[in-house]
A and B are shown apart, each in its own frame.
Chain A
Amino acid sequence: RKEVEQDPGPFNVPEGATVAFNCTYSNSASQSFFWYRQDCRKEPKLLMSVYSSGNEDGRFTAQLNRASQYISLLIRDSKLSDSATYLCVVILYNTDKLIFGTGTRLQVFP
Chain B
Amino acid sequence: NAGVTQTPKFQVLKTGQSMTLQCAQDMNHNSMYWYRQDPGMGLRLIYYSASEGTTDKGEVPNGYNVSRLNKREFSLRLESAAPSQTSVYFCASSEQGPPTLGDTQYFGPGTRLTVL
Whole-angstrom distance from the CB of B55 to the nearest CB of chain A?
12
Complex: how many Å from CA A4 to CA B42? 9
Residues of B within 8 A of A31 (CB): 100
Contact indicator B42/A100 (Cβ below 8 Å): yes
Q: Which residues of A contact B (CB under 8 A)?
A: 4, 31-32, 34, 42-46, 49, 87, 91, 93-103
For chain B, the count of residues having a C-beta within 8 Å of the partner chain is 22
23 contacts between A and B (CB under 8 A): A34-B102, A43-B90, A43-B108, A43-B110, A44-B90, A44-B107, A46-B105, A49-B102, A87-B42, A91-B99, A91-B102, A93-B100, A94-B100, A96-B48, A96-B50, A96-B98, A96-B99, A96-B100, A97-B45, A97-B58, A98-B45, A98-B99, A102-B40
CB closest residue in chain A, given B4: A43
Is B56 engaged at the interface, CB distance under 8 Å to the other chain? yes
Please encode chain B, from 73 to 94, with 1 for each CB lying within 8 Å of some chain A CB and 0 for all others: 0000000000000000010000
Secondary structure type dominating chain B contacts:
loop
Interface residues of B in 21-73 (CB under 8 A from A): 40-45, 48, 50, 56, 58-59
Is B11 engaged at the interface, CB distance under 8 Å to the other chain? no
Which of B50, B100, B105: most chain A CB closer than 10 A?
Answer: B100
Contact indicator B90/A101 (Cβ below 8 Å): no
CB closest residue in chain B, given A49: B102
CB closest residue in chain B, given A32: B102
Secondary structure type dominating chain A contacts:
strand
Whole-angstrom distance from the CB of A18 to the nearest CB of chain B?
26
Which residue of A44, A49, A87, A97 contacts B99 across the interface (Cβ within 8 Å)?
A97
Complex: how many Å from CA A31 to CA B100? 8
CB closest residue in chain B, given A88: B42
Contact indicator B99/A45 (Cβ below 8 Å): no
Residues of A within 8 A of B56 (CB): 96
Whole-angstrom distance from the CB of B51 to the nearest CB of chain A?
12
